[in-house]
Structure 1
Amino acid sequence: MTKQIDLIQHLKRNFGFDSFKGNQEEIIRNVLHGNDTFVLMPTGGGKSLCYQLPALMMEGTAIVISPLIALMKNQVDAMRNFGEDDGVAHFLNSSLTKAAIAQVKEDVTSGRTKLLYVAPESLTKEENILFLQSVKISFYAVDEAHCISEWGHDFRPEYRRIRPIINEIGEAPIIALTATATPKVQHDIQKTLGIQEAHVFKSSFNRPNLYYEIRPKVDASKEIIKMLKENPGKSCIIYCLSRKKVEELAELLVVNGIKALAYHAGMDAATRAANQDKFLYEEVDVIVATIAFGMGIDKPDVRIVIHYDMPKSLEGYYQETGRAGRDGGEGRCIAFYSYKDIQKLEKFMQGKPVAEQEIGKQLLIETVAYAETSLCRRKLLLHYFGEQYTEDSCDSCDNCLHPKEQFEGMEAITTLIKVILETKEKFKTDHVIDVLTGKESVSVKAYGYQELEIFGVGDDQDDKYWDAVIRHALIEGLIVKEIENYGLLKISDKGREYLKKPYSILITKNHDYSDMEDESRAGGGTAAVDLELFSLLKDLRKEISRKLNLPPFVIFQDPSLEAMSTYYPVTVEELQNMPGVGVGKAKRFGDEFLKLIKRHVEENDIDRPIDMVVKSVANKSKLKISIIQSIDRKVPLNDLAEGKGIEMNELLKELESIVYSGTRVNIDYYIDQVMDEEHRDDIFSYFKEEAESDDITTALMELGEDEFTEEEVRMVRIKFISEVGN
């Protein structure tokens, strides 16, 4: 009992807490007894304390191996805030000056420093190894230990070298800590660190206060702006996979009056640190970031975590969503899913070693399964981390709040098990589905399984149906996935029993997002077009076109009028945010259209959905500006396309976007080079006098496909819109 009080006293004196969280106390006692320790604890569970308190109590210095400089700085600052002596914690990495390194070494040698944070790269430097050999080391703490495993979401090859370096410096107990590890990753960590006999402390991965939702990726930017405007002042992290998208989205949010900043590894360290601090100190509400942001960020009141792009693995997703609601309060986790994003990620893997590609592919398959499932998301997530969730409904995920219809799955599961057994348990999910649905894929033919009696036994259902059956069978423990062998499906003992004595299992069909993708029409999604206003706007366009002797499409195209009939813009600024309406167009033609819309809104007492008139960032991307500048210098278009590394088709698309938004460009110098005068004038007069629309296919049919090429027609159309419309 004395020891118990003693530990609480240390906790109170050093950190000001009166009690431990979860199994912190057990872990700390284990470290104090000099045992190797493995800690699996979700984000926000209090992992850091598990090595910080014993480090303060034990003789010597604890070496904390940590992957990020920003993370080390945060941890060191936090430790110094708890005590009076700044020397109690230091970090040793490439960001320090020679004088600072000398100070660190002096503090460590004198015994002042109880925690020394190092990156694995710094640990391997010869001078650091020599220095640490002379230091009394209390224990080694390997933070973010999942970085050791190729199956982990942040694999760092340097982490593989930690054990040999420890052997060189001098052995001491090891505590490995991570917030995300599947059973496979856990095994990898223990094996690589040589701590197979470590005491394992595994906390539940369930975060009851988090709400999980997947949305189809349709007008995601607008959805995000709407969500943030409905939750003013709440802290939010938005994750994107590319730096370009991070910057674009952050800029879009700012233009729409949301306090947001960008964060990615391509920014200089000072800007990154400043942006992170502004988020931590609530000078901004939203940080838009790549996964470079957030590891170890101690902000307890993040209320919303949004994934603009689905992450590469469920570990990554779990870790990133885990940054919401760390104080136990509200935490909403919304991800936008499109299978096209997954295909992009698969493309990025090409060219990598085959083993790495296979691992990456299996991790992506799990992500897709999570996104498309209609099962309780919490149940599936916990199952992935080797934990059972026994409740029928969690009441805090989209699938539980809006359950889909179920069907009796007994026959389907029995068929599935028979097929896996018949194919000798040698296939992964996609190949098993090929056998079930009767697809003669390369691997099916290689084994000759197209000759089996069971080949095509489930061809009355599609891939998504069988995917849902497999997912349920996995959750029920009837089949298991052998991750070591890249996801081969095996039948468990429970599954063999099921085959003898089947029982009722209800299955929910997967979501199908494929038909919802790319629905974002020019008008911006699902809001209804006001047909009466649309008709009035078309009449006005016709009237103006007669007055100015211009074809109607030169003034505004139909998608622009549709958007106006959906969002009712009444100011020039709002009008500029309609698709296809640039500053030039809005100023030249906008006045009469705005008057008409305003009158229609007042007469019909319309509530404008103005909160969703998303302001666009001025469409002057670097590429567009560069194209306009090159045309001003009369650079031939074919040379310009080659210089920008794009096809001629893409260059013409950019030019069309430029002129349709109201900017004038003069490409006569190039047209005169590649086309005779008569050809050019024929196309020009077609658009001016005959064309009812600017459609290229119609133009080619009217002009004669044998005489004109699509490229010629598009170039003259650019000239026409630019001269006549702008």
Structure 2
Amino acid sequence: MSEPLLANAHTILKDVFGYSSFRPLQEDVITSALDGKDSLVIMPTGGGKSMCFQLPALVQDGACLVISPLISLMRDQVEALKQNGVSSAYLNSSLTAPEQREIEEKFLSGEIKILYVSPEKLLTRDFYNVIRSVTLNLIAIDEAHCISQWGHDFRPEYTQLDFLKKQFPTVPIMALTATADKATRTDILNQLGILHAKTYLASFDRPNLNLTVRAAQGRIESIIGLIKQAPNESGIVYCLSRKSCETVAAKLQANGIDADFYHAGMPADVRNNTQERFIRDDLKVVCATIAFGMGIDKSNVRWVIHYNLPKNLESYYQEIGRAGRDGLDSKTLLFFSYADVVQLKQFMEDSPQKALLEAKLQRMQQFAEATTCRRRVLLSYFGEQMERDCGNCDVCRNPPEFMDGTILAQKALSACARTREQVGMRMLIDILRGSHRQEIVQLGYHEIKTYGAGRDHSYFEWQHFIGQFLNLGLFEIAFDNHNILRITETGKKALTGSIPVQITKPESEIERKERMKAPQPSKTALRSNELFERLRNLRKKIAQELEIPAYVVFNDATLEEMAAKHPTTEETLMEISGVGQQKITRFGDAFLTEIIAFVKEKATQGEKITGATHLITFDLLQEGNSPEQIAEQRKLNIVTIYSHLATLYEQGKPIDIRSYLSEEEEVKIIAGIEKTGETEKLKPLFDYFKEEIPYYKLRLAMAVYKKRL
């Protein structure tokens, strides 16, 4: 790969998308694509997957084809690309035949750089003829877990995508997903025929998400309390059934909350309208079945609540991932009850994958019942080990009592090893407790050394222990091999005594209920920044005029940085993360005007606020006051006022430098600047000119010199 391509990628990252650096792994993935190599990219929601294929597409000749099953995601990403000045489009069933033909013609003529397409459209003969006639620089397959039977959202049409590598062998394929365990990753590579693709596994950790689990009792009261802490924030309540969606929404509405429901039983136009209102910030809370949110690129969802237990950890992780995509602190809350477990098991009864689904549900239940750091539990499920507790989950905030579980772990690990890792949890517990059931005797497990080594603990206690060993990453479940337990590298260390194992004591039912009681809601809002709210209102107004989602203008993280740093010029606004050249052109004036108005208001009210003081000086200068009069009015040193004038001149304000600095003085001082090489500090220049030229003239000449550069 040529270095200029990667350098160009860095330039586009800043100028087009407004970011000064890549997120973890992004540059590696982009480099691989530019080298023409296939890849499997597993990055959490909000981790920047789309940038991995968008940037290689933009720096090379040809076009990028993106396969996605999610119509709403296509629309959102295309809209965001267009706002950044990137030629892009999508093809799916939401378009009329003439609209599709027009896009295909533009794609063929090279007018479209990135084209999103549904798998159904991709598999048509007519469209195949289109892509055969286009120079493709990359094929990206988003939501790649849909191709695997082990994935949580299996879609049969995805299994036909293996033709892409066969028909376009020289075009790199990039498969991307937010959630995939080991079995799913292997299956994706096999199904797509990219066996030699490198797997890029980003950390699954989303430290900005606060993880909390509570008992289901008093759910509605807890939800109302959380929402009223921050009534202007967007959030999703996930429910197990259509009826509960409607019931919960009605109860929230009765308490004055801007809420509505969403499920597959609604008329399509009503459902779409609900989704659009939520995307555009016209609706704050949606109570929905899991169908809602798939592919919605809304970055400012501040909380996600699960009214019921999800069916597996993949679904849970993907759903909570819809909160805090902009990286700002966000809350997740899961309500747990055994009634949900029973209901979910009933749903699985007739499934051909019943054993697999029940095993995954059991892991979900273990997460909900965990008495160790929940983030460690969640990450270990995806094969990632944390060395320490996260401090941002309910268990870390209210830790239970711990005990040394090293010997218990060694007994369980040893028994598993002596069966050659061929048993599941139930069988392992029966071996440890010395069960005489027929299957154990037939397999000869009653003769292994650790048979009966754990008979001093009950079956339920061993369930508690092994659940924690799974959560700590000592074991993993082979979902693709009858859900047997396998010992991890961490487990091998525990077995040999290389690392200690700390676990919690089994709780009584009374203790568990007491621990999971909901805390009293805080009266402090998540965000009370006045400027942030003003910028958010401005953003919404602009978005409504353009008929686009508000977060497509700027996301919350960008607004928060503006509110903190008070940029008052295009140059300082460009330094804000998420602000690119196209958005400066389109939205810069409006946001700068609002920020400048705010800082002036605060300064005139006597508040010390960054970025305000030189603007107040400018207003007084415009009113006809001299620098000396301004210094007297503002009770500031005259040198400070001249420093304001220098800053204003550098920023392009109409300052008549000749009124304060003669041409002769300017030439003389600039010669001194070039001689000394000093462009920031005034003292070396003051000394260079033997203290004969006052500081304010040095500062003004330096402003002229820097502006020329």
Q: For this structure pair, what is the TM-score category when the shorter chain's length is used for normalisation?
A: 0.5 to 0.7
Match of 2:179 in 1: 180
Cα offset for 1:350? Answer: 1.7
Whether the aligned pair in 1 keeps the contact of 2:68 and 2:143 (CA below 8 Å) is yes
When residues 325 and 33 of structure 1 are mapped into structure 2, their CA distance, relative to the original with a 3 A threshold, is same
Match of 1:412 in 2: 408
Of the candidates 360, 381, 390, which is equivalent to residue 363 of structure 1? 360
When residues 123 and 6 of structure 1 are mapped into structure 2, their CA distance, relative to the original with a 3 A threshold, is closer
Of the candidates 364, 382, 385, which is equivalent to residue 379 of structure 2? 382
Where do 1:42-53 residues align within 5 Å? 42-53=44-55
Whether the aligned pair in 1 keeps the contact of 2:239 and 2:288 (CA below 8 Å) is yes
Structure 2 residues not aligned, in runs of 5+: 521-709
- Cα-to-partner distance string for 1:301-320 (whole Å, 9 max, x where unaligned): 22211011111111111111
Whether the aligned pair in 2 keeps the contact of 1:313 and 1:366 (CA below 8 Å) is yes
Match of 1:18 in 2: 20
Query: 2-side partners of 1:525 and 1:395: how far apart?
Result: 18
Percent of matched pairs sharing the same residue:
41
When residues 3 and 70 of structure 1 are mapped into structure 2, their CA distance, relative to the original with a 3 A threshold, is closer
Match of 1:38 in 2: 40
Match of 1:584 in 2: none
Query: 2-side partners of 1:388 and 1:309: how far apart?
Result: 27
Question: Residue type matched to 1:103 in 2?
Answer: E
- Cα-to-partner distance string for 1:53-81 (whole Å, 9 max, x where unaligned): 22223222211110111221112222222
Match of 1:150 in 2: 149
Helix, strand or coil at the partner of 1:261: strand
Query: 1-side partners of 2:490 and 2:52: how far apart?
Result: 38
Match of 2:477 in 1: 481
Cα offset for 1:493? Answer: 7.0
Match of 1:463 in 2: 459
Helix, strand or coil at the partner of 2:139: strand
Query: 1-side partners of 2:114 and 2:450: how far apart?
Result: 62
Whether the aligned pair in 1 keeps the contact of 2:71 and 2:295 (CA below 8 Å) is no
Helix, strand or coil at the partner of 1:95: coil
Match of 2:424 in 1: 428
Match of 1:638 in 2: none
When residues 109 and 411 of structure 1 are mapped into structure 2, their CA distance, relative to the original with a 3 A threshold, is closer
When residues 49 and 158 of structure 1 are mapped into structure 2, their CA distance, relative to the original with a 3 A threshold, is same
Of the candidates 398, 403, 411, which is equivalent to residue 399 of structure 2? 403
Where do 1:442-461 residues align within 5 Å? 443-444=439-440, 447=443, 456-461=452-457
Cα offset for 1:370? Answer: 0.9
Query: 1-side partners of 2:367 and 2:398: how far apart?
Result: 16
Whether the aligned pair in 2 keeps the contact of 1:218 and 1:516 (CA below 8 Å) is no
- Cα-to-partner distance string for 1:147-170 (whole Å, 9 max, x where unaligned): 122222211122121112553477
Of the candidates 27, 30, 36, which is equivalent to residue 28 of structure 1? 30
Whether the aligned pair in 1 keeps the contact of 2:9 and 2:56 (CA below 8 Å) is no
Query: 1-side partners of 2:22 and 2:493: how far apart?
Result: 44
When residues 480 and 291 of structure 1 are mapped into structure 2, their CA distance, relative to the original with a 3 A threshold, is closer
Helix, strand or coil at the partner of 2:340: helix
Query: 2-side partners of 1:114 and 1:167: how far apart?
Result: 23
Whether the aligned pair in 2 keeps the contact of 1:239 and 1:289 (CA below 8 Å) is yes
Match of 1:594 in 2: none
Match of 1:231 in 2: 230
- Cα-to-partner distance string for 1:177-216 (whole Å, 9 max, x where unaligned): 1111222222221222122222332221111111111111
Query: 2-side partners of 1:295 and 1:24: how far apart?
Result: 23
When residues 362 and 171 of structure 1 are mapped into structure 2, their CA distance, relative to the original with a 3 A threshold, is farther
Whether the aligned pair in 1 keeps the contact of 2:9 and 2:55 (CA below 8 Å) is no
When residues 510 and 220 of structure 1 are mapped into structure 2, their CA distance, relative to the original with a 3 A threshold, is farther
Helix, strand or coil at the partner of 1:460: coil
Helix, strand or coil at the partner of 1:192: helix
Match of 1:67 in 2: 69
Question: Residue type matched to 1:431 in 2?
Answer: M
Query: 1-side partners of 2:486 and 2:238: how far apart?
Result: 35
Whether the aligned pair in 1 keeps the contact of 2:121 and 2:127 (CA below 8 Å) is yes
Query: 2-side partners of 1:503 and 1:61: how far apart?
Result: 51
Structure 1 residue 373 and structure 2 residue 375: aligned? Answer: no
When residues 446 and 32 of structure 1 are mapped into structure 2, their CA distance, relative to the original with a 3 A threshold, is same
Indicate the RMSD between aligned Cα atoms, in angstroms: 3.0
When residues 448 and 51 of structure 1 are mapped into structure 2, their CA distance, relative to the original with a 3 A threshold, is same
Query: 2-side partners of 1:295 and 1:438: how far apart?
Result: 47
Whether the aligned pair in 2 keeps the contact of 1:419 and 1:436 (CA below 8 Å) is yes
Question: Residue type matched to 2:139 in 1?
Answer: Y
When residues 526 and 36 of structure 1 are mapped into structure 2, their CA distance, relative to the original with a 3 A threshold, is closer
Whether the aligned pair in 1 keeps the contact of 2:473 and 2:488 (CA below 8 Å) is yes
- Cα-to-partner distance string for 1:580-619 (whole Å, 9 max, x where unaligned): xxxxxxxxxxxxxxxxxxxxxxxxxxxxxxxxxxxxxxxx
Cα offset for 1:138? Answer: 2.0
Query: 1-side partners of 2:125 and 2:211: how far apart?
Result: 47
Query: 1-side partners of 2:286 and 2:240: how far apart?
Result: 14
Question: Residue type matched to 1:298 in 2?
Answer: D
When residues 383 and 498 of structure 1 are mapped into structure 2, their CA distance, relative to the original with a 3 A threshold, is closer
Question: How many pairs are equivalent?
Answer: 517
When residues 370 and 126 of structure 1 are mapped into structure 2, their CA distance, relative to the original with a 3 A threshold, is same
Where do 1:287-326 residues align within 5 Å? 287-326=286-325
Question: Residue type matched to 1:505 in 2?
Answer: V
Whether the aligned pair in 2 keeps the contact of 1:339 and 1:514 (CA below 8 Å) is no
- Cα-to-partner distance string for 1:347-373 (whole Å, 9 max, x where unaligned): 1112221xx222212211211111111
Structure 1 residues not aligned, in runs of 5+: 528-726
Question: Residue type matched to 1:41 in 2?
Answer: M
Helix, strand or coil at the partner of 1:153: coil
When residues 166 and 505 of structure 1 are mapped into structure 2, their CA distance, relative to the original with a 3 A threshold, is closer
When residues 219 and 170 of structure 1 are mapped into structure 2, their CA distance, relative to the original with a 3 A threshold, is same
Query: 1-side partners of 2:254 and 2:437: how far apart?
Result: 50
Query: 2-side partners of 1:478 and 1:24: how far apart?
Result: 30
Structure 1 residue 214 and structure 2 residue 210: aligned? Answer: no
Question: Residue type matched to 2:503 in 1?
Answer: I
Question: Residue type matched to 1:265 in 2?
Answer: A
Cα offset for 1:399? Answer: 0.9
Query: 2-side partners of 1:156 and 1:135: how far apart?
Result: 27
Query: 1-side partners of 2:442 and 2:422: how far apart?
Result: 12
Cα offset for 1:144? Answer: 1.0
- Cα-to-partner distance string for 1:652-671 (whole Å, 9 max, x where unaligned): xxxxxxxxxxxxxxxxxxxx
Helix, strand or coil at the partner of 1:245: helix
Whether the aligned pair in 1 keeps the contact of 2:147 and 2:159 (CA below 8 Å) is yes
Query: 2-side partners of 1:525 and 1:477: how far apart?
Result: 29
Query: 1-side partners of 2:192 and 2:370: how far apart?
Result: 36
Query: 1-side partners of 2:439 and 2:270: how far apart?
Result: 51
Cα offset for 1:422? Answer: 4.8
When residues 57 and 431 of structure 1 are mapped into structure 2, their CA distance, relative to the original with a 3 A threshold, is same
Cα offset for 1:105? Answer: 1.4
Whether the aligned pair in 2 keeps the contact of 1:431 and 1:443 (CA below 8 Å) is no
Helix, strand or coil at the partner of 1:15: coil
Query: 2-side partners of 1:181 and 1:429: how far apart?
Result: 22
- Cα-to-partner distance string for 1:425-473 (whole Å, 9 max, x where unaligned): 3211122223334556674466475687865543432334212322444
Cα offset for 1:13? Answer: 3.6
Helix, strand or coil at the partner of 1:507: strand
Whether the aligned pair in 2 keeps the contact of 1:35 and 1:174 (CA below 8 Å) is yes
Of the candidates 78, 81, 90, which is equivalent to residue 80 of structure 2? 78
When residues 294 and 510 of structure 1 are mapped into structure 2, their CA distance, relative to the original with a 3 A threshold, is farther
Cα offset for 1:3? Answer: 4.9
